[in-house]
Chains A and B, each alone.
Chain A
């Protein structure tokens, strides 16, 4: 893979990196696609394509019936629709896509909480000309040949689209759970470029990614994209975390697919996931009781609970639980006083901890904070944490496989709240905390 190649070319790449930095320092910030390996559109007719005969009377090659997932256009025809397979967005509210004949425009509507800015990306079929009237939008040539993923939540999408062989690097190796990606890491096939504002620009330039997929929080102190874009690296924001519903988050597989022309696969994968999610939700509706649920944990005298309009709240509600803050409408989390939450939580049937700290027993929780002792869930032993699958560095698979597979998250919660409804389901992410070690 490119990593070993890089080792041989180390010196030359460093020099190249130096020149690229020097060049981009002089050039405007608009990132340029790396054209070196792209075939220039040729004028003379090439070999006749192997595609079936064209229904149109044009002498040029026939219109493709599928998206070009692995190749470029060799002879461009302005009348041909190069994206016969398109995505349709059903549940995600954070991006919209518009298709044109040889390019598509995707807009990230809510890149972070309170963002006033939207990000527009023009994805151009490689081998076709760049559209001219697109302002200063970032242009990406599709299909992208390799990608650096800056969040573990992006990995399940790449895996489902069968694109892990295009993975060039990650922000950090530490938090990865996906066994296939771990194998790639162990084989030395990936580069590690660092997270957020600590991103290593030189390493990234040397890796020559076609695409870096990151996320933003709107604070230059934590965000990687301002630095990466300034260095001329094609960098896009994936704002899946801003979605308020589990299905909405999972649907960002279609966003990822756009850059690889894998629309057909994304449509199928998402439809299957949604169907499974709805099947589980349907089962949960059969429940005769609605256990009350409290989530999160106090830190000193503050207790951060998911807002009633949040992703976590939606999962609890869909799983047939009565979430204590369901009447709230905020999509983020609420920072409340311990006293205020305690007043409600003391009667909750189920306590979902969402703690990164691994507690071996309820006894250990009470040693750290004895004030939980009176809670009904503590007394009944109905305390759960989502730490069943956490790697040795603290990377939680809930935020990797889980986010990409909402039906698994939902099935887990249904199993916790209504065990009789899913007798055969084995918990994937959640673990019941025993009363004593």
Chain B
């Protein structure tokens, strides 16, 4: 199918006012982004609060033995799974954010703003805090309940909220209404979470609050066996949605006229975005701003709204940026660590401001 230049402007595209350059996949840019992600990945293996000589890091990564047994463990059991998690999670959030911005025709949509992450939080809270007031050991169940249980709970929570938002989005067209809706869903789910917290013991609450700070470093190799396949599946599904998303940019009728099965496309986008947002939220906590900021960065940096370019670009840039954010949060050289969300917000908020100032208008995606 020949993709006839969807211009990225909303429904009423004005051919003369097209601010975007021609479409297409620019391989050199993607290669550059991949190099950036790789560099960030290697940096996050080399830098940490325990100083390890670079030669040792390389030696261990190539299968050798470090001169200190602790270094071996730190590189292979701490830094490597964390770097992989950050790469995958950053990619997942950015791709899910991009999908949502397109399907909702809303520049502010992301897993966080539309309440999808809140849905995942609710799923986790039900598992972590649920029905616990009577028994301290209940919290211990999460460990035994299995990591797949946690991912399932978070993904189901995310999917439930996503389905509700999507159903209402079909009836109301207003961007503002959708944002208000997402906000209300966030409040509703946080009301239920607060209720659960009210009946939990202080230490449980602190465990839950800790989870809400967001972190890539809690994922062990064992959990990686659940997280990595879930995210790789979600990312693969998402990459398949590039063409339908391009068509949907110009509206459902246009997409249908181009032979896109709109219902199937929506379903595929819903499934992949929920899986991505749900799995990341389950293991890393709700991580803000990456999902909203990276798609905008991609559009602005590469001057395109072609999803065949945007999806892989968001994937690589999101993964690389997440690694950099995590490095900043570890504050190399310092022993203490900042919550990840402090860093993503500090970087993400100016990006959104920049978008608002630059575009002037919210109507354009």
Q: Do A and B bind each other?
A: yes
Partner of A357, one of B48, B133, B136, B222: B136
- The segment from B8-16, B56-64, B98-106, B139-147 that touches chain A is B139-147
A393-B216 contact given A337-B330, A339-B78, CB 8 Å threshold: no
A88 proximity list for chain B (CB < 8 A) = none
- Main secondary structure on chain B at its contact with chain A? helix
A336 at the interface (CB under 8 A from B): yes
Asked whether B50 lies within 8 Å of A394 as measured between CB atoms, the reply is no
A384 to chain B, nearest CB (A): 17
Asked whether B218 lies within 8 Å of A340 as measured between CB atoms, the reply is no
Asked whether B143 lies within 8 Å of A394 as measured between CB atoms, the reply is no
B236 at the interface (CB under 8 A from A): no
A334 proximity list for chain B (CB < 8 A) = 335-336
Asked whether B73 lies within 8 Å of A299 as measured between CB atoms, the reply is no
How many angstroms between the C-alpha atoms of A43 and B137 in the bound complex?
64
Asked whether A337 lies within 8 Å of B70 as measured between CB atoms, the reply is no
For the complex of A and B, list the 5 residue pairs with the smallest distance between their C-beta atoms, beginning with the closest.
A301-B217, A300-B218, A356-B203, A394-B201, A368-B143
- The segment from A56-64, A95-103, A106-114, A369-377 that touches chain B is A369-377
B174 at the interface (CB under 8 A from A): no
A357-B221 contact given A342-B73, A343-B70, A394-B203, CB 8 Å threshold: no
A44 proximity list for chain B (CB < 8 A) = none
* Residue of B with least CB distance to A365: B143
Contact count A vs B, C-beta below 8 Å: 102
Asked whether B337 lies within 8 Å of A342 as measured between CB atoms, the reply is no
Asked whether A337 lies within 8 Å of B337 as measured between CB atoms, the reply is yes
B168 at the interface (CB under 8 A from A): no
How many angstroms between the C-alpha atoms of A215 and B337 in the bound complex?
29
A364 at the interface (CB under 8 A from B): yes
Partner of B218, one of A301, A356, A390: A301
A367 at the interface (CB under 8 A from B): yes
B207 at the interface (CB under 8 A from A): yes
Asked whether B143 lies within 8 Å of A299 as measured between CB atoms, the reply is no
Asked whether B137 lies within 8 Å of A337 as measured between CB atoms, the reply is no
A227 at the interface (CB under 8 A from B): no
Place the interface of chain B in its size category. Answer: 35 or more
A357-B137 contact given A338-B217, A342-B73, CB 8 Å threshold: yes
A370 proximity list for chain B (CB < 8 A) = 77, 220-222
B49 at the interface (CB under 8 A from A): yes
Given contacts A337-B330, A358-B140, 7 further A-B pairs with CB under 8 A are A174-B201, A339-B78, A340-B50, A342-B73, A364-B140, A367-B143, A374-B70
A358 proximity list for chain B (CB < 8 A) = 136-137, 140
B17 at the interface (CB under 8 A from A): no
B205 to chain A, nearest CB (A): 10
B135 proximity list for chain A (CB < 8 A) = 392
8 A Cβ contacts from B222-267 to A = 222
B66 to chain A, nearest CB (A): 12
A302-B215 contact given A334-B335, A339-B49, A340-B49, CB 8 Å threshold: yes
Asked whether B210 lies within 8 Å of A393 as measured between CB atoms, the reply is no
1/0 per residue, CB under 8 A from B, across A196-219: the answer is 001000000000000000000000
* Residue of B with least CB distance to A305: B335
Asked whether A343 lies within 8 Å of B218 as measured between CB atoms, the reply is no
25 A-B pairs within 8 Å (CB atoms) are namely A198-B198, A299-B210, A300-B211, A300-B215, A300-B218, A300-B285, A301-B82, A302-B215, A334-B336, A336-B337, A338-B217, A339-B49, A339-B50, A339-B79, A342-B73, A346-B70, A346-B73, A356-B139, A356-B201, A357-B203, A371-B73, A374-B70, A390-B136, A392-B134, A393-B133
Asked whether A301 lies within 8 Å of B222 as measured between CB atoms, the reply is no
How many angstroms between the C-alpha atoms of A343 and B185 in the bound complex?
43
